[in-house]
Amino acid sequence: MISKKNKALVAGILAAATSASAVMPTIGSAANSYASEGGANKSYAAMFESLYDDVMTNGEKNGYLSSQNNGGDSFGIPYHAVETLVIEAPDYGHETTSEAMSYIAWIAAMHDVLVEKGQISGSNDLDKAWTTLEAIIPGWSKATSDKLEYGTIWEQERLKADTAEEGDLPDAYPTSQPGVEAINPYYSIFKSAYGSDNGYYLMHWLADVDDWYGFGGGNGKFTFINTFQRGEQESCFETVPHPCIEDLKYGNTDKEGDNGNGIKAIFNGLNKVPSQYSFTNAPDAEDRAIQAIYFANRYGVNTGELSALAGKMGDQCRNDMFDKYYKAIGKGTKITDSSAGAGTGSNSSQHFLMAWYTSWGGAYKASYGNYGWAWQIGCSHSHQFYQNPLAAYALCYDSKINAGMKAKDATSDYEESLKRQLEMYLWLQSVDGPFAGGCTNSWRGRYETYPSGHATFYDMAYVPHPVYADPGSNHWIGNQVWSTQRLAELYYDVVTNGDKSGGMKVGGLSIEDALDALLSRWIEWFEENTKFDYTDPETGKYMSYAIPSNLDWGKDDTDYTCTPDTWTGTYDPNGNQSLTCKITGYGQGDIGCVSSLCNTLIYYAAAKGVDSKYAYEEGSSVAEKGLYLANRLLSMQWEGGRDDIGLAYEDCNGSLKRVFEQKVYIPDYYKGEMPDGSKLEPGATFLSIRESYKKDPMFQELQEVYEATGETEDYKYKLHRFWHMGDALMSYGGMALLYPDVKPIGVEPPTPDTSEGTTGGTATLWGDANCDDKVNLADAVLIMQNKANPSKYTIKAQGELNGDVDENGNGLTNKDALKIQQFMLGLVDSLEP
């Protein structure tokens, strides 16, 4: 009898065997009619136009955009994905994020630049996209039915918050409070500059577009919501959704005077919650929006007042440059310490990096008067992938954007931030190439003493996975490609337009030299580790191309032997010998990550002046190889992933079983209900507090699979994420703009192995047909592929010797592949003939 695991292996073998004779078609073949429809595959400009038409022009029809908009001339509000069953950062696909809003501005900027350059037809869409973006800025949103007076935040004498510890697990909440006030040292300068505005010009990170949860009263209107609240181990599956406008209508409705419970009592404690509003930004989104305006300005698009609005947004993102409770940056800081000041001095709480967030809020209605108090906090934890030196550079040196920063010291702060962000990348680059996680000023979220000898950056402690540990925040390859795209675009800008910083030194290097050092090592690693005609040795899944999808840093997520050196202020190209990463997964289905990688390669090649001929042949330099890799990947992705509404590959996700099994901690003291009647009480699960999912057709399909198998790997689906389409559009547009003569290509067959035949040699490892020093399913698949198409799937002479395990001496046949399969299944004990 074959076990479940071996049945999966057999299925993988059969699937791989089926694909063994498949040859990747060239662009323009009949293999995918969607890819060639209307001549869309004839140029990168045409590819951009085709996808833009699906995602933006016909976005409502195709499900990317809601029928709701932000009033006036705006697009429909983008969903996180066309599909509904999506649980990653959002817990429902038809939520939206500040990330999605920043992408709508970014791709509209690319659209307008291509129109400006005459590469595509159309009119200005950037103004329309920015108006859409403002739907997720609380004081500017016309989409929401909540009309609060957010400008009352400027009526405070000071902006302060209560200090609280961060817990290791959700069941540690509510956590203890030491009774120390946290006071924002920049409140007065923002109040002076923006006191007439309706609150901060910052995006809240999450909203329920169609009020699926019902916190907006079930009227189907755009509603601000939040989820993550309880420490680094709180995965999306363990969150409790709640409204940003906590008017105590839902959850526990008991009330004592001005204090009640609502849903926030789960996090804050019983009878301690007054009616209030609260919001949280994610500054990588604001920075992407600023990047969009800077891009448009560089290419002559008339951005009008949008430049000043981008400047205002960036100015107020200085709130993200501060420690969570405004405590001094340093090893000896304790949770009981008072708040510190700003600047570069020894008693400053300003780290100048883009932290994970800033949060702010205030009172709503009370017997003693409405809007009577307000609060704000920063964040002690900074992740490398939230940094955007390109946006910092734009805020400093684009005169139109810079003019929008009205508060004191904005330019000098961003000049220091630009320097520190680039230094952070120099500090965190592994000897391999990818970047490690980040740093914190609050060890374990409680300002505990750093471990002895621990690596630091400006007295902040190294952390492999800042903010989130389920899963660790720096495993996903998106954290590499997103951040490095910004570095490559900045590099191109500095090389082609000159360094406007006046000679800023970063770790002893010029900005240009620092970026070149970072990019060359990072890109070379991706070139060496991108695969074609790849078969996953664990699952047997065949992929025509694959990039690394998951990285491990050390033997586990808290392995501090895998660490950078302490930053000294000077870059050492031979440093960080203890900082390495290991590839633990490959994939091709992450459209956005593949596209962002290609965007990076294109900008780097253009900065290096690579000739367009290297888009069709592999050159010798890192930049030349990069342009060829970008063209291959983008061409294959378009051919393999293009469908009737966008780009997507079939996928599966074993972690979706947590929908049915994941417990969600609710304190013993709490009992209440969600708007749809879902129970909030001890013993809750992800699904029990989201009963509305049971009406969802995608969920129903998932449930059928789970009930039949107890797992979710066999549930197959496609997701058309809005940000995936955004990164694809930016890569197509980038190629059209920087290499307008380059056309998409098919995959050229590899050069046949010209080494001599198998006579006269001996096997080094029986069964190792691909010569990777191990025997697994990939060897059997390679033999079958070789027999089906020997000119495409070549085997080295040594591999032919190793693989000849059945009737040795007769050369490779499918019988050899079969024997390797039998060995993998434990049906034969040895491969030696």
Specify which residues 363 forms β-bridges with. Answer: 276
Judge whether 661 counts as a catalytic residue.
no
Region for 326 from its dihedrals, namely left if φ exceeds 0, alpha if ψ lies in -120 to 50, beta otherwise: left
Does domain 25-135+484-556+580-651+719-745 sit in CATH 1.50.10.10?
A: yes
pLDDT reported for residue 789 = 65
DSSP annotation of 476 reads B
Q: What is the pTM of this model?
A: 0.88
CA distance 338 to 288: 34
Do 242 and 225 contact (CB within 8 A), yes or no? yes
Query: Active-site residue 99, yes or no?
Result: yes
Chain-centroid distance of CA 442 in Å reads 24
pLDDT at position 814 is 82
Residue 686 and residue 170 in contact, taking contact as beta carbons nearer than 8 Å: no
Whole-angstrom Cα distance, residue 113 to residue 124?
A: 9
Sign of the C-alpha dihedral, residues 421, 427, 428, 429? positive
Give 277's strand partners. 245, 362
Which amino acid is located at 342 in the chain?
A: A
Return the CA Rg of the chain: 27
- Position 3 scores a pLDDT of 42
Spatial distance between the Cα atoms of 478 and 203, rounded to a whole number of angstroms: 22
Amino acid identity for residue 550 in this structure: N
User: For residue 50, what are the contacts with CB-CB under 8 A and spacing of at least 6?
Assistant: 37, 38, 40
- Fold designation for 757-824: Type 1 dockerin domain (1.10.1330)
Tell me what pLDDT residue 763 has. Answer: 86
With vertex at residue 205, the alpha carbon angle to CA 208 and CA 180, rounded to the nearest 5 degrees, is 120
Phi, psi at 794, each rounded to 5°: -90, 155
Q: What's the whole-number average pLDDT of the chain? A: 93
Helices (H) and strands (E) in the chain, counts: 23, 25
**From 54, 208, 210, 284, active-site residue:** 284
Per the DSSP assignment, residues forming a β-bridge with 510 are 505
Q: What's 317's DSSP letter?
A: G
Position 31 scores a pLDDT of 59
- pLDDT at res. 6: 43
Q: Which of 83, 91, 95, 99 is catalytic?
A: 99
User: Which distant-in-sequence residues (6+ apart) come within 8 Å of 748 by Cβ?
Assistant: none
How many angstroms separate the CA atoms of 353 and 374, rounded?
25
Q: What is the pLDDT of residue 791?
A: 55
Residue 24 has a pLDDT of 34
Helix/strand/coil (H, E, C) string of 787-800? HHCCCCCCCCHHHH
Question: Which residues of the chain are modeled with pLDDT < 50?
Answer: 1-30, 747-760
For tokens 């025997």, the residue is: 775
Q: Evaluate whether 381 touches 440 at the Cβ level (below 8 Å).
A: yes
Residues 10, 13, 15, 17, CA torsion sign: negative
| Amino acid (1-letter code) at residue 469 | A
Kindly list the domain boundaries of the chain, sorted by start residue: 25-135+484-556+580-651+719-745, 757-824
DSSP state, 615?
G
DSSP code for 239: -
